[in-house]
Amino acid sequence: MSTGEALAGADGALRCPWALSTEDYVAYHDDEWGRPVHGDDALFERLSLEAFQSGLSWITILRRRPTFRLAFAGFRIEKVAAFTEADRERLLADPGIIRNRAKVDATLANARVLAGWSEGELDELIWSHAPDPAARPVPKVLGDVAAVTPESTALSKALKKRGLKFVGPTTAYALMQACGLVDDHLEACVSRGAATRG
Q: Is 186 left (phi over 0), alpha (psi -120 to 50) or beta?
A: beta
**Which of 25, 50, 151, 173 is labelled catalytic?**
50
User: How many residues are there in the chain?
Assistant: 198
Catalytic residue from among 18, 58, 117, 127? 58
The one-letter code for the residue type at 180 is G
Q: Which amino acids are annotated as binding site for Zn(2+), given as ranges?
A: 16, 29, 185, 189
Distances (CA, A) of 60 to 22, 56, 64, 68: 12, 7, 6, 11
Our answer to whether residue 58 is catalytic in this structure is yes
Q: Is 28 a catalytic residue?
A: yes
Binding residue ranges: 16, 29, 185, 189
Catalytic residue (one of 18, 28, 117, 127): 28
Query: Looking at beta carbons, which pairs linking 189-193 to residues 24 or more positions away fall under 8 Å?
Result: 189/6, 189/14, 189/15, 189/16, 190/13, 190/14, 190/15, 190/30, 191/15, 191/16, 191/29, 191/30, 191/33, 191/34, 192/138
Roughly what angle, to the nearest 10 degrees, separates helices 40-53 and 169-178? 130
Per the annotation, the verdict on 25 as an active-site residue is: no
Q: Which residues are catalytic?
A: 28, 50, 58
